[in-house]
Structure 1
């Protein structure tokens, strides 16, 4: 049986029977966000043996002054791994490893996990905390959980009553209002151990849900605006893609693509779900980007429970390293990847009745403090493990935020790995929001013909 804290056992008894509930929690329940739960919904207390510390609103972050863009290059430089997990000793730690992580340890002798002391750096601004507290009693799911109302500017369901609410927390996790990422790459590790840069791109991402001074009444419902332009390889240079994601299932994603050869912009409705990601040469699906990207209507979502697991966390060193330093032949360089013990919510996704998806079952592991997807295991139609994803969240102490962008997606049958939004060699900067007209097909067309 997985270890759980006393508070989780108390919450589970209340929550697990409410998988179809649509209402927000009561004010009395929400008051836990000021006592036993932290302002984003994680348990305030540490675990029984102290290996997971209590949460602090001001975690002690020892960060280097060297930065790559706005990302500190190294954290906690004086710390050494508490233990190393390999195929030889993973049975001793199996309870705290996902099935996908165990599969990687078995498959690749060079893969290992270096476990460091745990630092709970999932924090945010007071404004986000205040909004999260309000969301707890006012945010609701509508249309069978596929749309939302009454939410703004914080975690929508800090005390989730079902898997749908938990996965909305990932999609609406804490973000800066706007980001520029110059020269990010999509990297593929092939079955024979070669590293290929599928594309290099410039990208702007914007999060209207976290605009300063906004409100649930003013908000359009669009939570993620993205626009990027491919700059390499030469035969793809100049291609552009823009999309706008919404909480409303009726207009969940609007997308436009500019193709240089055609010199025109066209609508791109298939840039979603299990469409192969052409930005990564088809090595992953579009909804595997950032752990999970896009609407949730293809699946039914079950909140399995909470458990303690070894997960990638505070991984500034690997996301700021050079490509040669960050990657091995079949996986990230274990010397650069920091793993820690954290409590995670386990959410199981199974393809919904009348829907289809190439990966009919998935298991997501969401950080209790930040709600970011840290690991995901995907299963084929026969129930066999097929895919596994590791994300590498990193700290932006100046925001403050535990940020999530790169995702490393393993195809265990093809023996490949695809990294989406690799920041290695990129420049990541927090910027002021752009006019929302920047994220339209017309704007892409105007720039494409110049």
Structure 2
């Protein structure tokens, strides 16, 4: 019998839409695909119909002879030649496999091009990470009201995703090669007038308690990332510090900044969303850092599906040249950027009613093999595409990992200015796995002591 009581129906609707929806894990039968037609991370194992995307056969796990941690890793595919170069002249022929922001860049700049190389599915991880991913598939839970995640540890949380929020959590908790790292990096600003400016040079220390091998979902406290930077250059920022904790419970995120002029550490209230990022001198927003930084709860997330796309990939060549050769006016030098054809998940983010954000709509393109975001198209309130974020996935077969933890940036399509963040082109160290640091290293007091030296 149909209930036609309008008041009762309204109350039921209000209850349904105000109650958190907890997305349950997949069934054991679905998870079994991770041992058959899907890779251990949930990607389609088979290649595509014309062979331009090969089958995944285990990834790239080789260590160059004589390599030592911290060395600059060679480009294992340096002898290869492009299979095609895409420019504004032949854009129409490849348009269906290009992100919208990429098309606009090709149309706007006659000298911009994509050198597309043979596709190598190099993503790999240790077996224990694959084992944890299989467990997560049947135990992971997502609260769609709070964006909180539970029941996962040490692997991809949602290898068989059901919605866009799960895909973005896969990026946040993706495998980057281990549990503790150090790097030294520069953040470069290229002005609209073609002037290259150093925004920041800093050592960067970070670790992933989520990937402490001896841990488990039952013991995990949710603190999945700890990071700390102490600025060296420019001189006006020398000693300035930033420290971040991220948690699978979004309300437990925390960040601190050490201000040299005040000689004190302060808790940061809002290092998220479209707050200007002081690490890039305010040219980018905090939620653009590392391709995704902080919560996305101001936007509705729609999982559109999967498609073949030309994306930056296996980008070691990009970091092996001086920054003056890579960071050129309007865009990165195409001679030093490798593109390949891969399958990506597409997630549309649209601003919720009553919320405000200077980029109300974004399209995320997420690599199926690593779950890392490789491109983002950003639109303004009038629907005009104004920004494109990009990452240059770096291959570290010794770990093994393919990581977007450094070498990312944002093109301002309107002005021609851009940011190239976490560049190790001019620094002695690249991406170095280090001994695990005690929790005391990642405290406000420890940062104050280091910054004030």
Which residue matches 1:225?
A: 226
- 1:312-351, aligned counterparts within 5 Å? 312-351=312-351
The 1:60/1:234 distance shift into structure 2, 3 A limit, reads closer
The 1:347/1:445 distance shift into structure 2, 3 A limit, reads same
The 1:327/1:63 distance shift into structure 2, 3 A limit, reads farther
Which residue matches 1:6?
A: none
Contact 2:61 2:400 in 1 (8 A): no
Contact 1:365 1:374 in 2 (8 A): yes
- Post-superposition shift, 1:58? 4.3
Q: Which has the larger displacement, 52-61 or 34-43?
A: 52-61
Which residue matches 1:254?
A: 254
Question: Matched residue of 1:389: which SS?
Answer: strand
Contact 1:70 1:396 in 2 (8 A): no
- Post-superposition shift, 1:449? 3.9
Which residue matches 1:15?
A: none
The yes-or-no answer on 1:438 pairing with 2:441 is yes
Question: Matched residue of 1:72: which SS?
Answer: coil
- 1:267-282, aligned counterparts within 5 Å? 267-282=267-282
Bigger CA radius of gyration? 2
Contact 2:91 2:103 in 1 (8 A): yes
CA distance in 1, matches of 2:450, 2:131: 40
The yes-or-no answer on 1:355 pairing with 2:355 is yes
Contact 1:178 1:207 in 2 (8 A): yes
- Post-superposition shift, 1:67? 8.0
Which residue matches 1:199?
A: 200
- Post-superposition shift, 1:369? 0.5
Contact 2:54 2:119 in 1 (8 A): yes
The 1:65/1:93 distance shift into structure 2, 3 A limit, reads farther
- 1:139-154, aligned counterparts within 5 Å? 139-142=140-143, 144=145, 146-154=147-155
Which residue matches 1:418?
A: 419
From 178, 181, 188, the counterpart of 1:179:
181
Which residue matches 2:82?
A: 81
The yes-or-no answer on 1:213 pairing with 2:211 is no
Which residue matches 1:403?
A: 403
TM-score (norm 2): 0.91
- Post-superposition shift, 1:48? 0.3
- Post-superposition shift, 1:309? 0.3
- 1:351-390, aligned counterparts within 5 Å? 351-390=351-390
Contact 2:69 2:433 in 1 (8 A): no
- Post-superposition shift, 1:270? 2.1
Contact 2:326 2:333 in 1 (8 A): yes
Which residue matches 2:299?
A: 299
Contact 2:182 2:432 in 1 (8 A): yes
CA distance in 2, matches of 1:219, 1:278: 32
TM-score (norm 1): 0.92
Contact 1:62 1:77 in 2 (8 A): no
Contact 1:61 1:75 in 2 (8 A): no
Which residue matches 2:109?
A: 108
CA distance in 2, matches of 1:64, 1:320: 18
Structure 1's unaligned 5+ residue stretches are 1-19
CA distance in 1, matches of 2:397, 2:162: 31
The 1:214/1:60 distance shift into structure 2, 3 A limit, reads closer
- Post-superposition shift, 1:408? 1.6
Contact 2:59 2:121 in 1 (8 A): no
Superposed CA offset, 1:315-366 (max 9, x none): 0010232112222222111111110000000001112334322211100000
- Post-superposition shift, 1:414? 2.1
State the aligned residue count.
429
Superposed CA offset, 1:54-90 (max 9, x none): 0011448696877893441322122100000000001
Question: Matched residue of 2:225: which SS?
Answer: strand
Contact 1:185 1:199 in 2 (8 A): yes
Structure 2's unaligned 5+ residue stretches are 1-20
- Post-superposition shift, 1:297? 1.9
CA distance in 1, matches of 2:63, 2:114: 22
Contact 1:240 1:258 in 2 (8 A): yes
The 1:401/1:244 distance shift into structure 2, 3 A limit, reads same
